[in-house]
């Protein structure tokens, strides 16, 4: 009997704790948001098998236009791993632009397919 | 040449946003506070016992679950489902949208955790390889069908740990997890090892060596449903009592370390720190293609994470005074059950959106296994509901809550078991290292959720 009472009090304590944590966390939902409005532009340079930037971290919001401004000395493919996803053919010329936007929040990788590098990870916030 | 990290888990698409910093810090503070409050203030006598009474469910439930017909139907239905998925894998479109990938990486790997947590060790009943084995056994002459060896008990769960590593290697470290030929080869090897082992050792091979069976069994120990230890009736009881019924066999710590270490490595390997490091190092090795050296680096990285979990846990379990060498050696196994909640909490935090959203994608793909525009059972007009991704704050709260809840359950379980295992006079000091190690797992987990 004593054991049962003790067990149930443990359970109550646990449930209360989980509730408190959830409340405490929900309270600080106002995390800083990236500025929206103007689009995000990423300048990408591919030269001699190297890409700049590489593994960059950027911030954006959903449905914000994101522009990739590419100068390359080789053909390649840019894959944007987002929802919906996008693929762009990169030619070996200067000043190509590709534009897209993302509908579902998440961390979106922009990858150069043949060079096998991640250009940037874009954190797309709601 | 496709890049594995990018085609995350072989399915493409975006991954979760990082958890906000403040959420991680609050979670960490709760975990730390609770742990030390527990050590200082909680009960001083062991309270949990697998023999403690549980509230039995109506007898009809036990009859239903134990009915041969129900078990047979569940087994055959799963076998048919497996056949359907393999049909998609073999004859369907050989692209990333093939239903096999979604079923393998999402419904099997993460769905199995969810269903075992809710219903118990279901894999034992539905395992398609076990069903195939039982069917084959019926049609072969008895002389051939009888197991010829007894399973070497000294192997314990080690074969399952190797199998689990093979799975996480395929998903997180192989050159291309989305490559269907590789996934099909993996499944073929799995089938051969399962059937071959069972042919030699009988059904105990599935209980010890099937990675999914052992995974399901371990997770099911925090399910509220269990069998009453005396009457075998299905009952609902305290999961803390149920946790203690985890069988202690060689390799159980390795099994849990593979699960926790690989999940942590999955977070870490998507961070810019790891990518910069791996990209630079892989490109400085010219002898092999970049994808091979990247895969080798990820394999090493994952092994390091797993080894760190296994070593820290084992050392922390042993760090107590007042016992002899033999008892000390047994301690990591006897405390292994307390690692399960941490593993489950972290896997949920890490893979929940994956299960809910990619799971829908996998189900939709199954309606059209051959890519011919079929729409069986009609989910084709539906769109994936991104219920979690669209609410990143809610998702972040769920993630931090499940990590912290897993931690709290783990330290309670470890504290209670320490009271039973450690000699008086060493009960407080003897569990301190374990508490510190668990706090460090949770801090690392929260840090990885926020940074990656």
Residue with tokens 């961390």: A107
Beta-carbon count within 10 A of B299 CB: 15
pLDDT in tens, B131-145: 999 999 888 887 777
Q: Pick the residue with more confidence: B409 or B93?
A: B409
pLDDT for position B8? 52
State the pLDDT confidence band at A13, using cuts at 50, 70 and 90: very low
Across the interface, which of A3, A83, A104 has its CB nearest the CB of B47? A3
Which residues in chain A have their CB less than 8 angstroms from residue B17's CB? 105-107, 123-125
Best residue in B2, B6, B354, B395 for a mutation probing chain A (most A CBs within 10 Å): B6
Phi, psi values for residue A53, rounded to 5°: -75, 170
Q: Is the pLDDT of residue B441 over 70?
A: yes
Residue listed under structure tokens 């539906």: B382
Residues with Cβ within 8 Å of residue B423, at least 6 apart in sequence: B322, B323
Work out whether the CA dihedral B56, B203, B171, B438 comes out positive or negative: positive
Whether the per-residue pLDDT at A35 is higher than 60: the answer is no
Task: Name which of A21, A29, A32 to mutate to probe chain B: the one with the most chain B Cβ atoms within 10 A of its Cβ.
Answer: A21
- Higher-scoring residue by pLDDT: B141, B241: B241
Distance from CA of A2 to the nearest CA of B (A): 10
User: How far is residue A33 CA from its own chain's centroid?
Assistant: 13
Say if CB B101 and CB B86 are below 8 A apart: no
* pLDDT tens by residue, B357-367: 989 988 888 88
Contact call for B397 and A26, based on CB within 8 A? yes
Position with higher pLDDT, B220 vs A6: B220
Tell me which residue in A26, A31, A106 faces B16 most closely, judged by beta carbons.
Answer: A106
Contact assignment for A83 to B386 by CB distance below 8 Å: yes
What would the mean pLDDT of B126-130 be, rounded to a whole number? 96
Please give the C-alpha separations between residue B75 and each of B118, B285, B337, in angstroms, as whole numbers.
Answer: 18, 49, 28
* pLDDT number for residue B9: 60
User: What are B292-313's pLDDT values in tens digits?
Assistant: 999 999 999 999 999 999 999 9
Q: Which of A16-25, A110-119, B262-271, B285-294 shows the lowest per-residue confidence on average (mean pLDDT)?
A: A16-25
Return the SS3 of B160. helix
pLDDT exceeds 50 at position B388: yes
pLDDT band at A33 (very low <50, low <70, confident <90, very high): very low
* Cβ proximity of B282 and B370 under 8 Å: no
* A9: number of Cβ within 10 Å: 10
Q: Which residues of B touch A25 (CB under 8 A)?
A: 23, 26-27, 396-397, 400-401
Q: Measured between beta carbons, which residues in chain B are less than 8 angstroms from residue A118? A: 3, 5-6, 275
Q: A71: distance to nearest CA of chain B, Å?
A: 21
pLDDT, mean over chain B? 91
pLDDT band for position A4 (50/70/90)?
very low
B298 within 8 A of B278, measured Cβ to Cβ = yes
pLDDT at B273 over 70: yes
CA distance A23 to chain B (A): 9
* pLDDT over 50 at B2, yes or no: no
Considering only A71-80, B35-44, B60-69, B187-196, which range has the smallest mean pLDDT?
B35-44
Q: How far is A31 from chain B (nearest CA, A)?
A: 7
CB neighbours of B274 closer than 8 A, spacing ≥ 6? B268, B301
Mean pLDDT value of segment B199-207:
93
- Report the percentage of chain A scoring pLDDT > 90: 60
Query: Can you give the pLDDT at residue B284?
Result: 86
Strand order in the sheet with A106-112: A56-61, A117-125, A106-112, A76-81, A86-90
B334-385: pLDDT as tens digits? 999 999 999 999 999 999 998 999 899 888 888 888 877 777 776 666 788 8
What's residue A1's pLDDT?
39
Cα A61–A64–A70 angle (5° rounding)? 110
Query: Which among B49, B93, B9 has a CA at the least distance from the CA of B420?
Result: B49
* Biggest alpha carbon–alpha carbon distance for chain A: 80
CB contact under 8 A, A22 and B397: yes
C-beta atoms of A7 and B412 within 8 A = no
Tokens 């944007």 — which residue? A80
As separate numbers, helices (DSSP H) first and strands (DSSP E) second, chain A gives 1, 9
3-state DSSP assignment of residue A52: strand
Strands, DSSP E only, in chain A? 40-47, 50-52, 56-61, 66-72, 76-81, 86-90, 96-100, 106-112, 117-125
Confidence tier at A37 by pLDDT (50, 70, 90): low
* Residue B425 structure tokens: 């006079």
Residues 6+ apart with CB under 8 A from B24: B400, B446, B447, B449, B450
Q: What is the pLDDT of residue A26?
A: 43
For the segment A50-72, the average pLDDT, to the nearest whole number, is 93
CB hemisphere CA count around B53 (13 angstroms) = 8
Name which of B433, B450, B238 is nearest A31 in CA terms: B450
Instruction: With beta carbons less than 8 A apart as the criterion, state whether A85 and A60 touch.
Output: no
Residue A124: its chain B contacts at CB < 8 A? 14, 17
Question: Residue B349's pLDDT is what?
Answer: 93
C-alpha separations of A14 from A105, B190, B345, B401 in Å? 32, 40, 15, 12
For residues B420-449, average pLDDT:
91
Instruction: Find the range with the poorest average confidence among A26-40, B372-386, B436-450.
Output: A26-40
Predicted local confidence at residue B261, as pLDDT: 97
3-state DSSP assignment of residue B235: strand
Task: Give pLDDT, residue B229.
Answer: 80
| B278-291 mean pLDDT | 86
Q: How many CB pairs under 8 A join A and B?
A: 123
3-state secondary structure of B372: coil
Spatial distance between the Cα atoms of A89 and A75, rounded to a whole number of angstroms: 8
Distance between CA atoms of A90 and A60, rounded to whole angstroms?
Answer: 23
Q: What percent of chain B has pLDDT over 90?
A: 71
Query: Where is pLDDT greater, at A25 or B188?
Result: B188
Q: What is the β-pairing status of strands A117-125 and A56-61?
A: parallel
Mean predicted confidence (pLDDT) in A19-48: 61
Residues of A with CB under 8 A from a CB of B: 3-4, 6-7, 10-11, 14, 17-18, 21-22, 24-26, 28-29, 31, 54-57, 79, 81-83, 85, 102, 104-109, 111, 113-114, 116-118, 121, 123-126
pLDDT of residue A6: 44
Token pair belonging to B227: 């069998």
């Amino acid at each position: 009997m004593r054991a049962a009472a003790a067990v149930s009090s443990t359970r109550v304590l646990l449930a209360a704790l989980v509730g408190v944590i959830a409340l405490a966390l929900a309270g600080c939902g106002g995390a800083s948001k990236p500025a929206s409005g103007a689009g995000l532009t990423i300048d990408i340079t591919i030269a001699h098998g190297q890409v700049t930037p590489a593994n960059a971290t950027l911030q954006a919001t959903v449905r914000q236009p994101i522009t990739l401004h590419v100068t390359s000395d080789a053909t390649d493919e840019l894959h944007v791993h987002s929802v919906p996803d996008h693929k762009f053919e990169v030619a070996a010329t200067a000043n190509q632009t590709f534009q897209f936007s993302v509908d579902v929040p998440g961390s979106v990788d922009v990858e150069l397919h043949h060079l096998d590098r991640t250009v940037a990870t874009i954190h797309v916030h709601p | 040449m496709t890049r594995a990290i990018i085609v995350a888990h072989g399915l493409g698409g975006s991954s979760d946003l990082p958890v906000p910093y403040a959420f991680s810090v609050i979670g960490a503070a709760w975990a730390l506070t609770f742990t030390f409050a527990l050590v200082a203030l909680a009960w001083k006598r062991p309270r949990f016992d697998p023999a403690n009474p549980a509230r039995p469910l109506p007898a009809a439930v036990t009859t239903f679950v134990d009915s041969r017909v129900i078990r047979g139907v569940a087994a055959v239905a799963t076998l048919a489902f497996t056949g359907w998925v393999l049909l998609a894998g073999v004859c369907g479109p050989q692209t990333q949208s093939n239903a096999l990938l979604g079923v393998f990486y999402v419904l099997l790997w993460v769905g199995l955790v969810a269903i075992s947590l809710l219903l118990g060790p279901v894999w034992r009943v539905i395992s398609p390889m076990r069903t195939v084995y039982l069917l084959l056994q019926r049609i072969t002459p008895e002389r051939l069908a009888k197991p010829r060896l007894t399973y070497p008990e000294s192997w314990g769960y080690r074969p399952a740990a190797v199998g689990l590593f093979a799975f996480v290697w395929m998903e997180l470290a192989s050159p291309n997890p989305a490559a269907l030929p590789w996934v099909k080869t993996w499944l073929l090897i799995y089938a051969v090892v399962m059937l071959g082992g069972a042919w030699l050792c009988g059904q105990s091979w599935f209980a010890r060596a099937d990675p999914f069976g052992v995974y399901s069994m371990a997770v099911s120990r925090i399910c509220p449903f269990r069998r009453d230890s005396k009457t075998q009736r299905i009952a609902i009881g305290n999961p803390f009592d149920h946790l203690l019924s985890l069988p202690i066999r060689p390799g159980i710590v390795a099994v849990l370390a593979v699960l926790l270490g690989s999940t942590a490595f999955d977070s870490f390997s998507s961070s810019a720190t790891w990518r910069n490091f791996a990209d630079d190092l892989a490109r400085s090795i010219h002898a092999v293609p970049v994808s091979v050296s990247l895969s080798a680096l990820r394999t090493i990285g994952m092994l390091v994470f797993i080894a760190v979990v296994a070593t820290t846990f084992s050392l922390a379990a042993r760090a107590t005074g007042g016992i002899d060498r033999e008892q000390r050696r047994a301690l990591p196994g006897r405390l292994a059950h307390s690692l399960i909640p941490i593993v489950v909490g972290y896997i949920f935090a890490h893979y929940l959106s994956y299960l809910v959203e990619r799971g829908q994608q996998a189900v939709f793909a199954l309606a059209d296994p051959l890519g011919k525009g079929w729409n069986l059972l009609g989910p084709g007009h539906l769109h994936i509901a991104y219920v979690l991704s669209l609410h990143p704050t809610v998702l972040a709260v769920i993630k931090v809550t499940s990590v912290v809840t897993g931690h709290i359950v783990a330290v309670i379980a470890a504290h209670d078991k320490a009271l039973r295992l450690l000699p008086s006079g060493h009960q407080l000091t003897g569990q301190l290292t374990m508490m510190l190690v668990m706090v460090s797992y949770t801090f690392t987990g929260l840090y990885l959720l926020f940074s990656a």
